[in-house]
């Protein structure tokens, strides 16, 4: 695959797809230690056919972004939290955690090495970073690998869900993760299990599927790639509390912002039977940012939020505040951003 050049890109219409940029980070765990890591131009990975990751799914990943400020500089948003979450994912899957300080330094190096691909301010684009780690040992019996490869690639992207346009979603009959399973780890298998329900939802005319808790199917869990939130009719911000959903860095950031906006935010079990308590609803995550939910269909009944044509005023305010901090347009009183240039 030929390397992408900046002049090949339409910054205002990037979409959400992969571009083979000049540099990525690679490090290997072998002989009981990480080898140090380095930037490389090689975007290919070579496995033995019996590699752990290919057969037993010992793989984890992260997602974060770099943002072009109005003055031309570049911001990172809370990479320390991605490092911590990746450590927890590694521990859950019996993998060797990548040192968190080295994780942050590697992210910085990848961004700076590819900085001409950070989309211009005002284009709506960002540089998406995908750190990931996989077990590489050749194994036939089920056991954790003793060798790992850690990599970070970058690709310029537009909005995962374009614009703050409310979209229709449906409650899935499938489960994203098992009770007491790997739902809180960012591992590939959780996303593989969401492919079919997502496709079925889209074929039925919905944007995607929303899952209920896998134990009782009574409470809202999350979307396939984002957390759920709702704004009650009396103005409270609510988001699900569950042991089977991924702890979202975007969610925890918005919880703090919502508190400062006087929305009395809480993480709580949200019964699906109480869905009509919300005046606004949305999805939130690194890729989704904040995407308004226009309606939810559950057991053939449609529940609408707002007028289904535009984001509600609170959703809009949360979006403007979060992205204002990320792009450097608003004061970062939380010390969440790192200026790379």
**What pLDDT sits at residue 1?**
67
List 33, 102, 186, 251, catalytic entry: 186
Q: Checking phi first, is residue 202 left (phi over 0); if not, alpha (psi -120 to 50) or beta?
A: alpha
Amino acid 229: pLDDT = 98
Measured from the Cβ of residue 17, the count of other Cβ atoms closer than 10 Å reads: 10
DSSP per position, 2-44: PPP-GGG--TTS--S-----S-EEEEEEETTEE---EEES---
Maximal C-alpha separation, the chain = 59
Q: Is 186 a catalytic residue?
A: yes
Could you state, in order of their start, the residue ranges of all structural domains in the chain? 4-155, 165-325
- pLDDT tens across the length of the chain (341 residues): 689 999 999 999 999 999 999 999 999 999 999 999 999 999 999 999 999 999 999 999 999 999 999 999 999 999 999 999 999 999 999 999 999 999 999 999 999 999 999 999 999 999 999 999 999 999 999 999 999 999 999 999 997 766 689 999 999 999 999 999 999 999 999 999 999 999 999 999 999 999 999 999 999 999 999 999 999 999 999 999 999 999 999 999 999 999 999 999 999 999 999 999 999 999 999 998 999 999 999 999 999 999 999 999 999 999 999 999 999 999 999 999 999 98
CATH class of the domain comprising 165-325? alpha beta
pLDDT at 164: 87
Query: Is the model's pTM score more than 0.85?
Result: yes
Q: Per CATH, which fold does 4-155 belong to?
A: D-amino Acid Aminotransferase; Chain A, domain 1 (3.30.470)
Cβ-proximal residues to 117 (8 Å cutoff; 6+ apart), any chain: 4, 6, 9, 19, 21, 127, 154, 155, 156
- CA 290/CA 223 separation, integer angstroms: 13
* pLDDT given for residue 218 in this prediction: 97
Q: How far is it, in rounded angstroms, from Cα 190 to Cα 196?
A: 12
């Amino acid at each position: 695959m030929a390397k992408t050049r900046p002049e090949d890109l339409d910054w205002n219409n990037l979409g959400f797809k992969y571009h083979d940029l000049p540099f990525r980070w690679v490090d290997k765990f072998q002989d009981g230690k990480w080898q140090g890591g380095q930037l490389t131009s090689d975007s290919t990975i070579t496995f033995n056919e019996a590699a752990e990751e290919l057969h037993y799914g010992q793989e984890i990943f992260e997602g974060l972004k770099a943002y072009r400020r109005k003055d031309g500089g570049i911001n990172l948003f809370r990479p320390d939290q991605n490092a911590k979450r990746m450590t927890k994912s590694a521990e859950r899957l019996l993998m060797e955690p990548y040192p968190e300080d080295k994780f942050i330094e590697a992210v910085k190096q990848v961004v700076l090495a590819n900085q001409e691909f950070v989309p211009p301010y005002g284009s709506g684009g960002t540089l998406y970073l995908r750190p990931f780690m996989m077990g590489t040992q050749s194994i036939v019996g089920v056991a954790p690998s003793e060798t790992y490869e850690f990599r970070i690639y970058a690709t310029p992207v537009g909005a995962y869900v374009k614009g703050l346009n409310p979209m229709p979603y449906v409650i899935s009959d499938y489960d994203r993760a098992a009770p007491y399973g790997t739902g809180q780890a960012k591992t590939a298998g959780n996303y593989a299990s969401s492919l079919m329900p997502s496709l079925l939802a889209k074929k039925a005319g919905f944007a995607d599927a929303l899952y209920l808790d896998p134990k009782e199917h009574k409470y809202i869990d999350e979307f396939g790639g984002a957390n759920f939130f709702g704004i009650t009719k009396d103005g409270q911000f609510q988001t699900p509390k569950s042991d089977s959903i991924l702890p979202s860095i975007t969610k925890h950031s918005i919880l703090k912002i919502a508190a400062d906006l006087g929305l009395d935010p809480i993480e709580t079990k949200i019964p699906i039977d109480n869905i009509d308590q919300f005046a606004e609803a949305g999805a939130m995550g690194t890729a989704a940012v904040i995407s308004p939910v226009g309606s939810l269909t559950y057991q053939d009944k449609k529940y609408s939020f707002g007028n289904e044509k535009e984001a509600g005023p609170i959703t809009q305010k949360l979006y403007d505040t979060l992205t204002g901090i990320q792009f450097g347009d608003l004061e970062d009183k939380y010390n969440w951003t790192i200026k790379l240039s």
